[in-house]
Structure 1
Amino acid sequence: MDCCWLQGVYLVVKYFFQNHNCYYTLLLVTVLVEFFCDRLKDHFSVVPHVFSGLLALVSYQAIQEGLAVRIVHAIFKEIHVQSLLPADRYNVFMLFTVLLEKKMTELQTLGTDFVFGYIQAMDGEKDPRNLLVCFELVQIIVKRFPIDHLAEDLFEVTSCYFPIDFTPPPNDPHSITREQLILALRKCLASTSIFAPFCVPLLIEKISSDVIYAKKDALLTLASCANVYDARFISEQVPSLWNHIKQEIFMASEQSVEAACLEAIRSIMRNIALAEELNHGGTLNNILTKMLSDIKGNFLKQDQKILKISASILQNASMASDVICGKVLDEVIPIFLEQFEMVKQVSHQKSI
């Protein structure tokens, strides 16, 4: 289909915007939005031009109330987003981004209908540039829209990319890196406690992975999530989390994994300690007792690596709160003093 007529429309519109007052501009914008939305029903070859036009229109012109909902309804009804080319899908996601920025209150009236439509639009996305936009949109949606019964569905279409396994193609024009995708997805998973019941079990599973990058990513994501999630969700999983982290940190073959374990411990303990301070209940004493029970015996050994890791665990746990620090010192310092008096080897005394 020949789309040259769209070029003519563009030139006429450009002239009109430059030479007419605000009232007529708003009137023309309304007409154009309706025109473009109706064109979404046309031949598929027209659709990419329609999205380019809509994106330009809403990006640079004020639109009247009701038009944002009109655009979104038209997209959800007429378009299967994942059947479009990557560049056209990018325009769709950027259109959502601009509309949410400019017309958030209006779009919030759609409630879970918007959430459901977005899940369908994002489901199966593979282009890295598009995913960066998608992850940003998910963070906005979970904060500004009711998720309700769609929480697990939204989590699934997001978490299916975890852990990120991406190698940038040579001569990538967008220069998207694996690290960008990792951080964007991590922020997404850690954006709301609504994801906690689904995310924490997933992270526990990935911590036990044989793949180093997956293990490390899971630990660092857990640390980020523990800074946001409600302590009730973390507390329920603390015994399992501690057992997995303890196993990984003492068996870590890379220093980066050990560092990730320590960051996770620090965040988890801070989460639980804060909840207890706010009288939300918690399992602080139980987890501290378990942690100290598992670790204190290591200070009776002379293995330098085990001593160092054990001390690092307690140090990072102690950084979470004064209460934890006090309890750790009360339990550990007497052991150190006793050991120092008992051993005669200078090297071991130095370690203590």
Structure 2
Amino acid sequence: MADWLNRLAASLADNGHEPRTFTAGSGQIIVLDHGARVLGCTLPGVDENLFWHNPRLEDASDAGTPLHEAGGLIGGDRIWIAPENGYMWPDLEAARTDPQGTYQLPTRMDPSEWGPIEEGDDHVVLGTTMALTDHRSERSVSLNLSREITIIDRPHGLPDSLACASFAIRNDLSLIEGDPEAVAGAWDILQLPPTGTLICPTVMPVQGQPRSYYDPFGDKHVQVDPHCVRFLIDSRRRIKMGLRAEHTNGRMGYYRALPDGQASLIVRVFLPQPGEAYVDMPRMTDDTFGGDALQAYNDDGTATGEGPGHCFGEMEYHDPAIVVGAGPALRTGSCVTHVIAGAEGLVRQAGRMLLGVDVQPIA
């Protein structure tokens, strides 16, 4: 195992957490029961986690702090429940002037109490139950949630010289009970190390700018082309953007330059469903529906408050929501993820094949 992975595994074990390590193609992925996370991915030739994880997790004497805080401070791929403006801010009016100071992530959402339902050499299914209250309306909902993480084959046509780890995630969200019109949607979030560019192909031109959730985008960080939106993750500006289901083709790729002419690319493929109930909205709106299927986040150190090395970005997608009393009481969403590394030119070619657009980083 890579040095960082040895340190991480030992530290987690010292804190009472035993991660599962799965061989995936030429690499490995690390799954943690705590929050049902795909915490890391390692590939030969890359001396670091291809995902972001909190560096404090590698120090056994310090790892307990981010583990107990959970939320965005652990890393990897996690599942939350949307809408954020309903479940994470007890006072939405206060959040509109002080979003950081009034943010409260329910522990019953993350880390929750996850446990194994089924496991094998190439997969694990983890499950939990949670009860949440939408503070905007005081409507409550109780949910069953399961995550199946399965190793899959590398993409066909990928050059043999490229290292690759591929896996699939299935999220099943089902209603136990709830107040009429309560809403809950699965929200999958993969945390990323800076610096790199998230490439988001579109099926139609995005008029103007994508939806903004936090600070203004500025002149550089979000660039709209006829066939894609590019989003810079560099830890220098706290921004978040969203694309509606009718704009995204369900693919996104995070390209990052590595030393010595190498590069990495994380490609995620999911299923947008235009016309369905997407419920994650900016805190400045009172609307319930009309949310985004794809989101991207660039943190400037605000989340952890710990400066360089503790900053991250995120590639996110949403599934349509359960709406109590209207529509299905079970929502199932899935995605596949390919993590690729190798010579920069070949990685870009692979990105063109998998995303359908050229991989052009924001300089």
TM-score range, shorter chain: under 0.3
Greater RCO (CA < 8 Å, at least 6 residues apart): 2
Which structure shows the higher helix fraction? 1
Bigger radius of gyration, 1 or 2? 1
Which structure shows the higher strand fraction? 2
